[in-house]
Structure 1
Amino acid sequence: MTTNGTASSSSSSYTATVLYGPKDLKVEKREAQPPAEGQATIRIIATGLCGSDLHYYIHGRNGAFVLQAPLVLGHEAGGRITALHPSYKGDLKVGDDVAIEAGVNCNTCKYCREGRYNLCSDMSFCSSAKTFPHRDGTLQEFMNHPTDYLHKMPSTLTYELASLAEPLSVVIQATRRANGPQPGSSVLILGCGAVGLLSAAVARAMGATRIVAIDIDQAKLDFAKSSGWADQTVVLPRGKRVSGFESLEAAKVLKVELEKELGEEGFDTVFECSGVESCMQVGVLLAKAGGKVVFVGMGTPEAVLPTANAFTREVDLIGVFRYCSTYPAAISLLGSGTLGEGIAKMVTQRYPLEKAAQAFEDLARGKDESGKGVVKVMIGDYCGQA
């Protein structure tokens, strides 16, 4: 058990789900600790599962970040403050509902001073194995977390919507990095998980007039279209995943096939949200000359990209790593209703904490035991309550 982010409650123990290795998830009782100076204790009410959580659950790693010790997963969460350290003098109070920003940075390095704290090498991020000791995540009943990274929820927000502030923050970071999409522009979304869907929703809200979504799951594409976030969708066949130059040759073939359906004009902005190497490659090939490809998804540690194609057409290749200073905007956007009714409908399954393993299995399979497709999975004892 790490000393960072230890949990606390009004009783002597609490429940946590702890990952020990690939598909080795245990439900444990842990001893509660009061919040340290600068911390609050939060009762976690809803946690959304993310693709990175799934990678840790299945493989014991997420890209280059390898599990080195038992870890509580989960970093998309909303909850209620149950205790504050006696020395706290800020605006938060016991009983406040908050969205939890998962990363804790050093506040002293060059990147933190320049306002790019997501690049802080000493950042400790809930449920990530990037740094050691790992910082436990939110798949537990209670946790202690620095008050500086707790954001008050407006009354218009449910706990589930508060948890979506985390993936939405990734999307806001991506749009800031790309300086767009601009009103009247065309956008391609590759991968329609939660981040891909939110990218489409934000692109629509920013005035993009043509949004095309591509995925291997027809149900997710249908959801994007019915929510008004996509004008056109393309479902790709599931097949054997290849990599390297073999994948690049396949991407060139796929580009030709997609152009038959989508036209040859290309896209002003491409949001690559899958992390799949072939999608990363075809995203570059489908960008307009002078366009931008924003790599939002993670999952391919080392990818072969068509750089000559990009450089000779002045296509900007833009990386995105988490987010910084985005939570206020994300919470405001979620509470405003600007993104449409589809946002709340993104939550398709809800599980109690004790059934976290089942939630991960259903997420990996893409549907639950009843056959209903997965868009966004929530875990918590009070999921859906305001």
Structure 2
Amino acid sequence: MSTEVKASVLHGVKDLRLETRILPPLNPTDVLIKIKTTGLCGSDLHYYHHFRNGDILVREPLTLGHESAGIVTSVGSAVTHLAPGDKVALEVGQPCEQCNLCLQGRYNICQEMKFRSSAKAWPHAQGTLQEEVVHPGKWCHKLPEGVALDDGALVEPMAVAFHALQRARLEEGANVLVFGAGTVGLLCAAFSKVVSKARVVIADIQEERVRFAVGEGFADEGIVVPMKRPGTIEERLAFAKEVAGMVGGKIGPVDGTFECTGVESCLQAAIYATTPGGKVMIIGMGNPIQTLPISAASLREVDLIGVFRYANSYPKVIELLASGLRTKLPGLNRLITQRFTGIESIPKAFDMAGRVKDDDGNLVIKVLVDM
């Protein structure tokens, strides 16, 4: 029997419509999941505000959402690790599982990847801002007792941060710099402190975010980046060196930098701030063409390391959440700053997610939609 569900569908810039969708039949390896909660991500906001994400254009109506958790309501005949009633976090990327990259465990950069809510693949893989989804059981991760559905929705950005930390391979006790005090930057800072026992300084242009990061224990020190807009290349690089100097004054030589903004000046400053032999993790998705001081990196053997989503990180993050390390992490629920209830509230949720503060003057960090 076919199943009809309500779905939030983006047809153009800020043009979200509530529509009815027919779900595909359940294959033996699939599960049916009632979506309970979904966090709004920066990439979702790009699609909402511009109907594109960088150079990726939306070519058909698209349901957004990929930071989701829900309840299993039905399982295919071949699914043995899940049962109706189980809470799950959805890993929404679906790689080919056959290419060399997939076989090496690097499925996140599979060229045939279909990722829910991304317009990169054609036809687009529809996102999770709908009542129910049919999803491969392999990519549904059971949440153990004590790990709430809110945690399940946060597993996706946590997986990004955890993957970045694994790519960085920092030594214990390293000095770490994080550019960007949004959700992923805060999680990179927290994981660096807890997993790598690093000393962390976080930098952002918004003073309130920096205060939040330090006050809530995500970082040890904070830097408010000056609001400057230098013109020439020489002026921009001079500003980047100025910011790097501010970092050095706070924490000294930086062993690893997590650049989570995608802003050119931040990546420039990251290169200057990182010590010889250190690493810069490029996480933020900004302007695809940037002017960088490459000689400052190459002559000091500063490694520029790309980070794209995650691979094999969901089970490790969920295990961390269920372990004693959870008590050493800052209050993750503090990242959820605004909530909206019901599928009809999704347009308001997107409008809120694009703001710096809400009407009461509270910071906007992670907006959640409870379906």
What is the root-mean-square deviation in Å for CA atoms of aligned residues?
2.0
For the residue of structure 1 that corresponds to 2:354, the secondary structure is helix
Aligned partner (choices 54, 74, 85) of residue 95 of structure 1: 85
Q: What one-letter code is carried by the residue in structure 2 that aligns with 1:225?
A: V
Aligned partner (choices 235, 241, 251) of residue 240 of structure 2: 251
1:106-185 alignment runs, 5 A limit: 106-180=96-170, 182-185=171-174
- Structure 2: how far apart are the matches of 1:247 and 1:56? 29
CA apart distance, 1:239: 5.1
1:28-67 alignment runs, 5 A limit: 28-67=19-58
Aligned residue number for residue 16 of structure 1: 7
Cα pair 1:62 1:299 within 8 Å, conserved: no
Q: 1:142 to 1:245 in 2, by over 3 A?
A: farther
Aligned residue number for residue 275 of structure 2: 288
Q: 1:341 to 1:250 in 2, by over 3 A?
A: closer
Aligned partner (choices 191, 196, 220) of residue 202 of structure 1: 191
Q: What one-letter code is carried by the residue in structure 1 that aligns with 2:126?
A: D
CA apart distance, 1:54: 1.0
Aligned residue number for residue 329 of structure 1: 316
Moved more, 76-85 or 361-370: 361-370
Aligned residue number for residue 5 of structure 1: none
Cα pair 1:124 1:131 within 8 Å, conserved: yes
Deviations 1:63-101 (A, max 9, x none): 23221111111111110011123x324221111110100
Cα pair 1:191 1:272 within 8 Å, conserved: yes
For the residue of structure 2 that corresponds to 1:164, the secondary structure is helix
Deviations 1:248-300 (A, max 9, x none): 443234334554x426x430000001111111111111001111100111122
- Structure 1: how far apart are the matches of 2:291 and 2:51? 24
CA apart distance, 1:14: 2.0
Moved more, 298-307 or 113-122: 298-307
1:302-317 alignment runs, 5 A limit: 302-317=289-304
- Structure 2: how far apart are the matches of 1:24 and 1:213? 35
Cα pair 2:217 2:330 within 8 Å, conserved: no
For the residue of structure 2 that corresponds to 1:365, the secondary structure is coil
CA apart distance, 1:219: 2.5
Cα pair 1:248 1:304 within 8 Å, conserved: no
Cα pair 2:218 2:330 within 8 Å, conserved: no
Aligned partner (choices 175, 179, 185) of residue 190 of structure 1: 179
Q: 1:295 to 1:241 in 2, by over 3 A?
A: farther
- Structure 2: how far apart are the matches of 1:143 and 1:243? 50
Q: What one-letter code is carried by the residue in structure 1 that aligns with 2:191?
A: V
- Structure 1: how far apart are the matches of 2:232 and 2:88? 42
Moved more, 369-378 or 46-55: 369-378
Identity %: 42
Cα pair 2:45 2:350 within 8 Å, conserved: yes
Cα pair 2:230 2:239 within 8 Å, conserved: no
- Structure 1: how far apart are the matches of 2:309 and 2:106? 11
Cα pair 1:227 1:340 within 8 Å, conserved: no
Aligned residue number for residue 367 of structure 2: 377
For the residue of structure 1 that corresponds to 2:337, the secondary structure is strand
Q: TM-score, normalised by structure 1?
A: 0.90
Q: 1:325 to 1:310 in 2, by over 3 A?
A: same
Cα pair 1:292 1:315 within 8 Å, conserved: yes
Aligned length: 368
Cα pair 1:205 1:338 within 8 Å, conserved: no
1:262 aligns with 2:250: yes
CA apart distance, 1:201: 0.6
Cα pair 2:272 2:296 within 8 Å, conserved: yes
CA apart distance, 1:229: 2.2
Deviations 1:209-228 (A, max 9, x none): 42100112222222221222
- Structure 2: how far apart are the matches of 1:241 and 1:20? 37
For the residue of structure 1 that corresponds to 2:146, the secondary structure is coil
Q: TM-score, normalised by structure 2?
A: 0.93
Aligned residue number for residue 335 of structure 2: 346
Cα pair 1:333 1:339 within 8 Å, conserved: no
1:361-372 alignment runs, 5 A limit: 361-372=351-362
For the residue of structure 1 that corresponds to 2:241, the secondary structure is helix
CA apart distance, 1:236: 2.2
